[in-house]
Amino acid sequence: MSAMLNRSGAGFAPPSSADFDFKPIFGNSIFTTKPVFLCFLSVILIATFFILSARKAAIVPSRLQFAGESVYGFVRGTLGEAVIGPEFMRFVPFLFSLFTFVLTNNLFGIVPFLQFPTMSRIGFPISITLCVYVCYHWIAIRKHGFIKYMKDVCFMPGIPAPVYIILTPVEFATYFVTRPLTLAMRLFANMFAGHLLLLIFTLGGEYLLKSGALIKIFSLFSFTFAIGLSFFEFGIQCLQAYIFTLLTALYIAGAVADEH
Amino acid sequence: MASDGDKGKSSLPNNNAKASAIREDGAFWSIFAYLISGLLFWGGMGALADHFLNTSFLILIGLLIGLSAGLGLIWMRFIRQ
């Protein structure tokens, strides 16, 4: 493909991280860019959907109510009760908000005209990860007390004392650095890479369409690929929302567990 | 993290198999986190020591220590029980 592009003369400008920078829609503030509006839109959409689905709650559910209850039931059963255990009910609202928020913002990546996954700007994953981070440490500290929690995290029972010199820093780094880091990075990187992939095939298709007569045919393949990858992206977006919430539930489960 | 495994007594009896399957999904990422932090911490210590002592082999030793620490923790948290 690159050889073909070179032959056609004018350079193809591949999508880059610059495609993720948006100019403010109005004013001159970083708070009026497209991702911020998408984030607000997601909140409005989620709220509208669940208020509508729960407003006329009936024993024989309407289709909308059924859809809303399925999502809630999934988070409550699979991510709440099965992972956290008996105390799960306290955390269901948090998990549910996280799951729907991440899922909606991810799905914006393949919604026509919106076409940008909010989570591919690193600031959004970082801020929700901060909520999770504060949440699971706070739960654990309130349950066990600060000193006992630190002892539980850093000193695993049943190993000889000198080995602690090697293991304790690693345990500490895992709980306080690597966990939040991987949580945010995984979501960000998946959304970033997915959006870039879609950009490559659509922009490439567009470029091929503008090229010479014979090459035009190949743009068809490029666009077909872009559509196929959109379905693939749909899977990734749902999976990432699930993984993010699952890991949050696991961290909370670790925090409410009686001992480490 | 291992404590996640044994505390979740579900009110639904047939939920336990499903619950353990879900936890195995999550265990993968915990294992990943242990490996990363072991390598980063001890590899970083090795690199720092190299920098100040003007040597070049300590980072390798650091990485090996970090790898074994990570693997050791994974063994203790996930396999020994």
Answer whether B72 touches A (CB < 8 Å).
yes
Answer whether A86 touches B (CB < 8 Å).
yes
Tell me, what's the pLDDT at A14? 83
Answer whether B48 touches A (CB < 8 Å).
no
Mean pLDDT of A171-196: 93
Which A-chain residues 93-152 have CB contacts (< 8 A) with chain B?
A: none
Contact call for residues A257 and A144 (beta carbons, < 8 A): no
Model confidence at B27, pLDDT cuts 50, 70, 90, reads confident
Q: Is residue B41 part of a domain?
A: yes
Tell me, what's the pLDDT at A119? 93
**Owning domain of residue B52:** 25-81
Nearest residue of B to residue A87 by CA position? B8
Q: Which of A54-63, A151-160, A192-201 has maximum average pLDDT?
A: A192-201
Q: For residue A84, give the nearest of B2, B8, B76 by CB distance.
A: B8
Q: Is residue B14 part of a domain?
A: no
Contact call for residues A171 and A154 (beta carbons, < 8 A): yes
Residues present in chain B in total: 81
ipTM: 0.74
Instruction: Compute CA A108 distance to the chain's CA centroid, rounded to the nearest angstrom.
Output: 11
Mean pLDDT of B22-42: 86
Q: Is residue B6 part of a domain?
A: no
Q: For residue A82, give the nearest of B22, B29, B72 by CB distance.
A: B22
Nearest residue of A to residue B31 by CA position? A174
- Chain B residues whose CB is inside 8 A of the A177 CB are 37, 40
Q: Is residue B9 part of a domain?
A: no
Contact call for residues A95 and A77 (beta carbons, < 8 A): no
CB contact under 8 A, A170 and B66: yes
pLDDT tens figures, A62-97: 888 889 999 999 999 888 888 888 888 999 999 999
Q: Look at chain B and report how many structural domains it folds into.
A: 1
Nearest residue of B to residue A247 by CA position? B26
Answer whether A168 touches B (CB < 8 Å).
no
Q: Is residue B69 part of a domain?
A: yes
CB contact under 8 A, B33 and A250: no
Mean pLDDT of A116-122: 92
Sequence-distant (6+) residues with CB within 8 A of A115 are A108, A109
Model confidence at B15, pLDDT cuts 50, 70, 90, reads low
Q: Is residue B11 part of a domain?
A: no
Alpha-carbon distances, residue A252 vs A29, A89, A95, A120 (angstroms): 36, 12, 10, 25
Residue B8 phi/psi, 5-degree rounding, is -80, 85
Tell me, what's the pLDDT at A3? 47
The residue behind tokens 């690693």 is A170
Report the 3 state secondary structure along B41-80: HHHHHHHHHHHHHCCCCHHHHHHHHHHHHHHHHHHHHHHC
Instruction: Compute CA B11 distance to the chain's CA centroid, rounded to the nearest angstrom.
Output: 31
In terms of phi and psi (left: phi > 0; alpha: psi -120 to 50; beta: otherwise), the region of A158 is left
Answer whether A179 touches B (CB < 8 Å).
yes
Q: Is residue B12 part of a domain?
A: no
Q: Is residue B68 part of a domain?
A: yes
Q: Which amino acid makes up residue A37?
A: F
Model confidence at A20, pLDDT cuts 50, 70, 90, reads confident
